[in-house]
Amino acid sequence: MGLIIRSCTVAEVEQSGALQELLAAYGAESSISELGKVNASFEQYRQMEASGALHIIGAFGPELIGLASLLVYGLPHYAGRRVCAMESFFVAPAARRGGAGLKLLRAAEAQARELGAAALMVSAPVGGRLASVLPRTGYRETNRVFVRGLA
């Protein structure tokens, strides 16, 4: 069966047989040490989905091999213009060849447009593969995010 990219629900992601493996790979590659170990709060995801703030796109082949989660909101300092921020974007390392990541990114862009967003903002781990791919796909670096633990 080929690659399928489609909108999906938090429940579908949560029930995926490949979820734990995907989360482990995500944590190994994308975790932020100041925030602790990756530990997805599906209750919080469900609440955000129910409010309309969270939209998920899954990559299936046939199991879940990647996902993009979009947060949509208005920016008050831009007269309330809507944007989408990529809360998570990840494709399993074994599934990256063949364009799954790019197809997932393009589907996220289409979803952001449908949600009325003026832009899609994507963050990427410093030195990671995504940071090297984004500039070649039409994205430009606008800001840098810095973190300091407060515990």
For residue 42, what are the domain limits? 4-137
In a domain, 151, yes or no: no
- pTM given for the model: 0.92
**Residue 48 Cα distances to 8, 22, 36, 130, angstroms:** 14, 21, 22, 25
Query: Which CATH number covers residue 28?
Result: 3.40.630.30
* Domains identified in the chain, total number: 1
Residues 6 or more apart from 36 whose CB is under 8 A from it? none
In angstroms, rounded to a whole number, what is the distance separating the alpha carbons of residues 55 and 95?
22
In a domain, 144, yes or no: no
Q: Which residues pair with 56 in a beta bridge?
A: 8, 69
Q: What is the pLDDT along the chain (151 residues), one digit of tens a residue?
A: 589 999 999 999 999 988 999 999 999 988 899 999 999 999 999 999 999 999 999 999 989 999 999 999 999 999 999 999 999 999 999 898 888 999 999 999 999 999 999 999 999 988 888 899 999 999 999 998 889 999 8
CA atoms within 13 A on the CB side of 7: 10
The DSSP code for 138 is T
In angstroms, rounded to a whole number, what is the distance separating the alpha carbons of residues 31 and 62?
26
In a domain, 26, yes or no: yes
